Copies of this chain bind each other. A is one copy, B any other.
Amino acid sequence: MLNKVAVPMNRRSLFKLIGAVAGSAVMYQAMTELGHAGESGYTGPVELKGDPKGATVLILGAGMAGMSAALELRNAGYKVQVLEYNDRPGGRNWSLHGGDTYTELGGFTQHVQFSEGLYLNPGPWRMPYHHRALLDYCKRLKVALEPFTQVNYAAYMHSSKAFAGKPQRYREVQADFNGHVAELLAKATNQSHLDRTVSREDREVLLDAMRAWGALDKNYEYKKGFLTSERRGWVSDPGGGTTSQPTPSDPVALHDLMQSMLWRAIAAGHVYEFQSTIFQPVGGMGMIGKAFGRELGDLIRYNAKVTDIKQDERGVTVAYRDAKAGGPVKTAQAQYCICTIPASILSQIPMTVGAPMKSAIDALYYDSAVKVGLQFKRRFWEQDESIYGGISFTDMPNALIGYPNTRFFDDGPGVLLGAYTFGANSFQYAAMSPEERIKKTVEYGTQIHPQYPAEFQHGVAVAWHRVPWTLGCAGHWTEELRARHFDNLCAFDGRIVLAGEHASRLPAWQEGALLSSLDAVRRLHQRVMAG
């Protein structure tokens, strides 16, 4: 996404800068800002006018990209076949439920024990309001959605190095951050330091704004009292009748707040993809993949491991084997091929394409990410701490705790996202056995929620670099890589075109996969119509 858009600093150096002063939470945030970004250009279902006269298309991969391509081409009159490695539709659109089994690279098999209706989304878990293609497919496929909470003012911001390791509420950190920023800026303004920048006319308005926004008193100070407690919360709560006097809380001093680094996670909810309103499918993200799968029926051949992709002037021939049983090599043929296999896998499959596409496929590195789901006997985060959904951030290797945004007020059990970690921490996680990952995640979380040891039941851990069919969570485009390879990755090579999140400027987002697929489908149709 970065080429041709003015970028304030080199991506890599910005990463380094942020990494130097901050931890995994802000690193993740920065990655998101730089790589996983943007609003959807989707304006409605793709229109493919004209009769393709029985043209055939072979689609590799039954994820979001592959299945949306299959759906649109089938509806337009194409003969479509989809080959999928897994025994289920969805790809990274995936929820693990009780009874599911998952075997990762290295041989570890996990038998998921979650109670009825509980799940972990190892891959995507959020659907921004502006990812319109994804939302529209949900409507068309009758997938019920419910709100996802990103910012929860009762959730925690935790640093093992600040406040003696005691987690702070989001509302406290944000209120104190805004308050100190407002007080400092009001001071500079009042002392006429900004007279060259801020006009006389704007000066008074700016001061009013600082007071209202920062909860400052009449002297433009951020001080303990009613106004500040009405942002950061109270020590003891106002109530009813004769025993209702509240006790205001103490703001944290500027120095302590700054050095705690907890301010890093405040802006997470300001970032385009994490702005409210966000949605999730009722019953887990995997409901979308399942709905696509139902719609496509036997157009999808499951357990098909592609081993070779050949093309000539007349068509494309793909060799595959049964991913579970092995057995003889089979072939599938079509006039065109839309290949949505992740580049990390595709680079290992022989393929008759030219150097530009091949180089692009080989150049793309895949990010690491780890998610750990933990089941607890009861929803103590709600019952004990008034945390209903949303995310707590920490500087520990688990990076965050995501609370379930559904079944609020249930007695339990409940499953939360105990870890969602990128970068170095995720490599350390991936090097452990699933059992060890879960154990560590419980240890980390206990520093935030001391209820963990008493309430923990069991968990499941997915390290994306060990997922056999992706070997990573998503394509990682640097600015340089994009400039050199992106156009070649997306361009038709003979009768083959690629699609998926890696072929988009919304990497790691389902919307990117869908939009790249719709773009590929449109171009394919133009070629067919042009004869």
**Roughly how many angstroms separate A452 CA and B393 CA in the complex, as a whole number?**
42
Selected contact of A198 from candidates B8, B233, B254, B276, CB within 8 Å: B254
Collect the chain B residues with CB atoms within 8 Å of residue A360's CB. Answer: none
Question: Hey, what's the 0/1 contact readout for A216-250 against B, CB within 8 Å counting as 1?
Answer: 11110001111101110110111111111110100
Collect the chain B residues with CB atoms within 8 Å of residue A244's CB. Answer: 1, 41, 504-505, 515-516, 519
Closest to A37 in B: B230
Min CB distance, A173 to chain B, in Å? 12
**A515 near B153 (CB under 8 angstroms)?**
no
Which residues of chain A in 186-211 are interfacial with respect to chain B, using CB atoms and an 8 Å cutoff?
A: 187-189, 191, 193-194, 197-199, 201-202, 205-206, 208-210
Collect the chain B residues with CB atoms within 8 Å of residue A39's CB. Answer: 233-234, 237-238, 246
Collect the chain B residues with CB atoms within 8 Å of residue A420's CB. Answer: none
**A226 near B503 (CB under 8 angstroms)?**
no
**A240 near B34 (CB under 8 angstroms)?**
no
**Roughly how many angstroms separate A146 CA and B147 CA in the complex, as a whole number?**
9
From known contacts A38-B238, A184-B194, A193-B191, infer whether A266 and B147 are also in contact, taking CB-CB under 8 Å. Answer: no
**B225 near A6 (CB under 8 angstroms)?**
yes
Question: Hey, what's the 0/1 contact readout for A492-531 against B, CB within 8 Å counting as 1?
Answer: 0000000100011110000011111111100100000000
Collect the chain B residues with CB atoms within 8 Å of residue A2's CB. Answer: 226
Binds B, one of A76-84, A129-137, A323-331, A458-466: A129-137
From known contacts A129-B154, A237-B39, A238-B39, infer whether A246 and B188 are also in contact, taking CB-CB under 8 Å. Answer: no
From known contacts A175-B270, A245-B4, A277-B389, infer whether A188 and B198 are also in contact, taking CB-CB under 8 Å. Answer: no
Collect the chain B residues with CB atoms within 8 Å of residue A149's CB. Answer: 147, 276-277
Selected contact of A238 from candidates B1, B240, B246, B263, CB within 8 Å: B1
Collect the chain B residues with CB atoms within 8 Å of residue A178's CB. Answer: 267, 270
A18 contacts the other chain (Cβ, under 8 Å)?
A: yes
A124 contacts the other chain (Cβ, under 8 Å)?
A: no
- Other contacts beyond A5-B226, A184-B189, A238-B506: 11, CB < 8 A: A1-B238, A8-B227, A9-B217, A33-B230, A37-B226, A129-B388, A130-B237, A181-B181, A201-B259, A209-B258, A240-B517
**Can you list 22 A-B pairs with a CB-CB distance of less than 8 A?**
A6-B224, A7-B226, A29-B212, A34-B226, A38-B230, A38-B237, A42-B239, A146-B146, A147-B388, A154-B275, A181-B182, A202-B259, A205-B261, A209-B258, A213-B266, A215-B267, A238-B505, A240-B504, A240-B516, A241-B515, A242-B487, A277-B390
